[in-house]
Chains A and B, each alone.
Chain A
Amino acid sequence: MSSFTNESSSGSNGSLAIARLIDRIFFGLTCAFAVFIAVILLWITAQLFQAAYPAIAQFGLGFITTARWNPVEDIYGALPQIYGTIVSSIIALLLAVPLGVGVAVFLSEDFLPAKIRTPIAFVIELLAAVPSVVYGLWGIFVLVPFIRPFLNVIHQTLGWIPIFSTAPDIRGMVQAGIVLGIMISPIIIAISRDALVSLPPQLRQGSLALGATRWETILKVLLPAALSGIIGAVMLALGRALGETMAAAMLIGNAPRISASVFDPASTIASLIANQFAEASGLQVSSLLYAGLILMLLTLAVNVLAEVIITRFQQIE
C-alpha cells in the first residue's frame, strides 16, 4: 500500500517535472523569438554592411558625393540618386501635407454626419492598401497623359524659372513626386486625424466660449495643440516616400543625373536598385547594396525621429 502511494506520488512528481520543463522551454522559446524580432534590424544592417563592404572599401564616403554610375569602368557614386530620392520626396510632401492635413481637419470636425464620414475615412484607408505597382501602372496610363497638358502650360508660362525650364517628358521627377504624394497622403490623414480627435474637448469649448469661430478655433487652438502628432505623421510619410520603389521606378525615368528642372527624368536610390540589381555583378552589386544601406539609414533616422515625436505626444496626453 505504502509502495503504491510512493509510486503514484513519484509518478506525478515526474509529470510535474516534465510540465515544468515544457513551461521553461516554452518561456525560453517565446523569449528568443521576441529578442530576435527586436534585434532583426541590427542583423539586416550588419548583413547589408557585409555584402556592401567591397564597395564601401573602394569608394568610401566619396560614394555619396560622386555623380557617376558607370558599370563599364566600374566607378560608382550615388549623388544623383540621393538627390532624386530627396527631391521626389519633397515634391510628394508639398502635395500631401496640405491635402492630408486639410482632409484630416475635414474628417475630425462635424462638417458631415458620422454616417457619411466613416465610409470616407474607410475609403481613404483603402488608398493605403492599394499596391504601389498598381499606383505605378495607373500613373503610366492615366495620370501621365492627364497632367501632360497642364505641365506644358506651366513650362510655357513659367519656363523662365529654372525648375520648370525643360519641356516635360512622359517620365520625370514631377510625375513620380505626384504619385508618391497621393500614396503617402493616407498616412498623414490617418495619424493627423487621430491626433486631432484625441485632443481634450475643453480646448475647443474654451476657445468657442471666448467667441472664436470654428475655423479660428481649428487654426489657432486645435492645430497648434495637435502639432507634434501631425509632425510625427509627416515624418512617417516622408520615411515611406523616401523608400518607395515601384512608383518611382515606373515614373521617374531612371536617368542618373542631377537637373534643376523637375520636368527632367531623374532616379532614386530605390529605383536604381530595382532597375539594375537583377543584371548586376561584382562591384556593381555591392555598390547597389551600399546605396541601399544609405537609404536604410536615411529612413531609419526619419522613422526613429517620428517614433520619438509621436511617443512624446502620447505621453503629454
Chain B
Amino acid sequence: MSYTVAPMRKAFGAFMTVLATGCALLLALPLFSILWTVISRGMSGLSLAVFTELPPPPLMQGGGFGNAILGSLTVLAIAALISVPFGIMAAIFVSEFARGTKFANFVRFGINVLSGVPSIIMGLFAYAVVVLTTGTFSALAGGVALAILMIPIVERTAEEGLKSVPMETRQGAIGVGATNFQTISQIVLPAALPSIATGVTLSLARAAGETAPLLITALFNNFYAQGILQPIATLPVLIYNFAGAPYKNQQDLAWVASLLIVTLILIVSIVARSFARRQHFG
C-alpha cells in the first residue's frame, strides 16, 4: 500500500523548503557579520588605556573612554534607582492585590503600549520634565529617560516572578497571623527575588545600549562629569559621535566601545536565559 504525491506538488514542496531555509540563512548572515566585525575590529583596538584615558581629539593617537564608561554606569544607576521601586511596587499591586481584575488588565495594556513607545520620545519627555526644570542637560535627565524605558521590563518580569510563587505560601503566612505587608515583604518577595533580579539585569542590559534618549538629554562630555547635573559622556553616544568622525583612531574606539556593550549584553542574555531555565525546572 503506497501513496504518491503528484510530482508538481512534490517539487513545489521541495522548492518552498529551500526557500524557507534560504530565509533563515540570509537572516543569520547579518548577525554573524555584526558579531564578527564587532569582535575582530573591537579586539584589535582593545588596550588598558581604553578604560582609563579620555577621548582623543581628532588626529591624535591613543586615548580611551574612561569617562564614558563611568558616565554610562552613573546614568544606569540613576535609571535603576527610579525604575526598580516603581516596577516592583506596581508588580506587587497587580499580582497581589488586583490579580485578575479589570484594573490589572488596564495596567498590562498601559505597560504593553508604553514598551512600544520609541525611545527617543522618552528622551523628549525627560527633556521637558528635567532639562527644562533644572536648566541644564544632565546625567539626571538621561537617567529619567532610561528609567521609563526600563519600567515595563522590570514590572513584567517582577509580576511573572511574583505570580510563580505558589498560593499556598501566602495562605500559610496569612494562616499564622501575618499581615499582607509581612507576607509580601518577608515571604513572597524573597521567593520571587531571583526572577526579579533577572528582570532588572535584563532591563539594565537593554538600557545600556540605548542611544537616542541620551543624545538629547545627557549630551556628551569630553571630560569626567563633576556631578549628576551636568552633561555626561556615555558609551552609546560615544559610538554615535565617533562613527560619524572621519578619523580612523576615533572610529577604532567606536568599535572597541561596541565590543564592550555587545559583550555585556550577550553575557547577560545568556546567563539570564540559563538562569530562567533552571528556575523553570526547579
Tell me which of A44-52, A56-64, A65-73, A153-161 binds B.
A44-52
B205 engages A33 (CB within 8 Å): no
Tell me which of B44-52, B57-65, B112-120, B163-171 binds A.
B112-120
Chain B positions within 8 Å of A273 at CB level = 120, 124, 216
A106, CB-defined interface residue at 8 Å: yes
Closest to A183 in B: B30
Contacts A122-B273, A133-B239, A292-B124 given; does A36 touch B118 at CB 8 Å: no
Question: CA A186 – CA B33 in complex, angstroms?
Answer: 16
Q: List 22 A-B contacts (CB under 8 A).
A: A51-B127, A102-B20, A106-B23, A126-B266, A129-B269, A130-B265, A134-B262, A137-B239, A137-B258, A138-B30, A138-B34, A138-B37, A182-B30, A189-B27, A240-B118, A242-B118, A250-B244, A277-B216, A278-B215, A292-B120, A300-B113, A303-B117
In the complex, which range does the number of interface residues on chain B fall in? Answer: 35 or more
Tell me which of B10-18, B192-200, B221-229 binds A.
B10-18
Chain A positions within 8 Å of B114 at CB level = 37, 40-41
A239 engages B116 (CB within 8 Å): yes
Tell me which of A2-10, A20-28, A195-203 binds B.
A20-28
Contact of B120 among A19, A135, A274, A300 (CB under 8 A): A274
Contacts A135-B34, A242-B118 given; does A278 touch B21 at CB 8 Å: no
Chain A nearest CB from B234 CB (Å) reads: 11
- B123-140 vs A, CB cutoff 8 Å, 1 = contact: the mask equals 011011100100001000
Question: CA A134 – CA B235 in complex, angstroms?
Answer: 11
B20 engages A105 (CB within 8 Å): yes
A23 engages B180 (CB within 8 Å): yes
A228, CB-defined interface residue at 8 Å: no
B121 engages A295 (CB within 8 Å): yes
Chain A nearest CB from B220 CB (Å) reads: 9
The A contact surface, by secondary structure, is helix
A47 engages B97 (CB within 8 Å): no
Contact of B181 among A22, A124, A236, A300 (CB under 8 A): A22
A243 engages B119 (CB within 8 Å): yes
Question: CA A23 – CA B92 in complex, angstroms?
Answer: 13
Contact of A296 among B3, B118, B254 (CB under 8 A): B118
A244 engages B118 (CB within 8 Å): yes
Contact of A274 among B93, B127, B205, B212 (CB under 8 A): B212
Question: CA A230 – CA B124 in complex, angstroms?
Answer: 32
B255 engages A133 (CB within 8 Å): no
B210 engages A131 (CB within 8 Å): yes
Contacts A34-B89, A141-B37 given; does A215 touch B16 at CB 8 Å: yes
Chain B positions within 8 Å of A33 at CB level = 85-86, 89-90, 93
A114, CB-defined interface residue at 8 Å: no
> Which residues of A (207-254) have their CB < 8 Å from a CB of B?
211, 213-216, 218-219, 236, 239-240, 242-246, 249-250
B17 engages A111 (CB within 8 Å): yes
Question: CA A16 – CA B38 in complex, angstroms?
Answer: 60
Contacts A41-B110, A103-B27, A274-B215 given; does A30 touch B118 at CB 8 Å: no
Contacts A129-B206, A134-B38, A213-B13 given; does A111 touch B21 at CB 8 Å: yes
Closest to A216 in B: B9
Contact of B116 among A123, A142, A303 (CB under 8 A): A303
Chain B nearest CB from A20 CB (Å) reads: 7
